[in-house]
Structure 1
């Protein structure tokens, strides 16, 4: 072994050690706890086998929490479409381009707590949003935006869309800007419309970023926590799967079931990401 190989292994040893201590070992510990009834206190771990997982699959509470996440899935898909649309538009010669780019990116830079406080005031009864609807003679649509069980998840998902739109936009915009200028020159010479250019040049050239954004969407949808927790604390039917996990662990002291739910969340993310990767590779083979 030469000296350079020793230095390489030494530098690799540090991140591998950190990954093992702070990444792999906690996951193993989480899996072990998921088979126990540990309450988070003391050192007694009563082995219950698959009982925690059986409880999760039989109880409608956890299925309802997972159903709430579907609202964020729909808003996430809409967010991706809107972000891509404006990324394409602002990649062309557009007046006020820098202003609109800043406008899209700004919500992503605001902390979750600040966003929650803004919308708590904005959507409060007789608040600014209600006054706006009254001014537009749409007062018949006024409801308790954060308290109505039929409306609250749509409201929270819309807030999530607004806040995360800038992340998708900047990913798409950067990908479009990296497309070689030769393609644009060819489209200009052939007289292609913006839609034809987008269909045959922009979308195929940005598929990798679209795929990346889909992976981020899956992770984001399953792990929604801050907006519903801060604004409603999961009340009125707005409890997402991660909020439910937190309540199980820190409020009900059911660390065993909370750990098993965390394992299920991880498996859902891995399986959906794997399926998306399979579809991507299958599409690549057909081409």
Structure 2
């Protein structure tokens, strides 16, 4: 147990996350994750908004949940956090100068949250809307939501399109590969012909180091309607100056049962292609 108000090492926080913390809900690791990614301090309302996911109708209810659990556990019982009544700020009682240690703690929080959600899915104890809300909670705690995604300029988009066309020519050497007009709904490249389509390829570009992209609901519905032919090709970690990039792909319908999706614009998180 942490001594109340005492500053501890990141290794002690990691030990708490890995060995001591018990989870009836995802609230404790979510709050710790939020603080780890924001220099160890956050306002009560900001944390409540993170716990709410995209359900912002009554933030006061999420403030009540925050002040009951995890505050009672993380502040009152274990002293991992401090709560300052005047400013209504929460702060981590942890030295965050060890960057590698902080990254390890962040990774552990994410693992704890995703494992809890995974067990809930296996037990069928949550409906689809709640599963999606919890993934939004995780994303907001880790990244702060869509506002913090890297901007993608036209040059980066064009680079990703050229890379995708080249890769598709390698995959389908005997098929026509046709880039579609910019406003085509659901896909950017047609493999085959309109009369005999082989694949509808949706190309996404990002300079981010993880293959995480935003999808419109129209794109997601198209993936379901054309599930046997739909491919998302994500060109990520793009460095135009070095002509460097990485590739991830997904084939088939994009569904919350098999993909990490976050409303209200869907966010699809892929693993790197082998």
The TM-score bracket by the shorter chain reads under 0.3
Q: Which has the higher strand share?
A: 2
- Comparing both chains, which one has the higher relative contact order based on Cα–Cα distances under 8 Å and sequence gaps of 6 or more? 1
Q: Which has the higher helix share?
A: 1
Given the two structures, how large is their TM-score scaled by the length of structure 1?
A: 0.23
* CA radius of gyration, larger in: 1
Given the two structures, how large is their TM-score scaled by the length of structure 2?
A: 0.24
